[in-house]
Structure 1
C-alpha cells in the first residue's frame, strides 16, 4: 500500500512552470559596497595613524637618571597591581585544602 502510493506520486507532475526568484543580484551589490567601504576605511585609518604618531611627542627623556626613575616608578605600579591579585590566591589555596579533606582525587 505504501509503495503503490509512492509509485503513483512519482509519476505525478506539475504542468505549469515553476518560477524561482533569485535574490542574488539584489545582494551582490551589498557585498561589493561593503568591501569598498572597508578598504577605504582601512586606508584612511592606517594613514592617519602614521601621521599622528610621527607628529606626536612620545615623552622621550634625555637624562638617563630621570629615565631610570620614571621606569622604576612605572614598574612599581605594575608590580603593585599584580601583587594585589596574589592576595586573593590565599583564599583559593585555603578552599583547595578544605576541598581536598573531603574529596580525595
Structure 2
C-alpha cells in the first residue's frame, strides 16, 4: 500500500504538483532503508537533495581593496589622456610643421596695389551679378506660372 502511495507521489513530483510536505515525505522515504526495489533508482536523487542542503561554501573570496580600484582608475584615466593628446597631435601635425602655408592662408585676399584690388573686386562683383541675374530669371518663370494659374482657377 505504501509503495503505491510513493509511486503516486513520485508522479506528482515529476509533474511539479507536489507540496512541500509531500516532498519532505518523499525525502524521508528515500533516505530510509526500506525502499522498494523498483524505486531504488530514485534514491540517489532524493539523497542528493538532502546532502546538497547540508553543504556549505567554505572558500575564501578576496575582494579588491579601494586602493587597487583607485590605482586601476588612475591608470585608465592616464591612458585616455595620452590617447587624446596623441589624436590631437596626429590631426594637427600639419599646422605645426607648415608655418608658411598658414601665413599664406592668412594673407589670402590682400593686395598691395590698389588697382589690382579694384580689378579683383570688380571681377568678384561681376560674378555675383551673373549669379543673381540667373536666379532672377528663374523667378520670372514662377511669376508667369502664378499669373497663369490665377487666370485658370479664378475664371
TM-score calculated relative to the size of structure 1: 0.47
TM-score calculated relative to the size of structure 2: 0.34
State the structure with more CA Rg.
2
Which structure is higher in helix share? 2
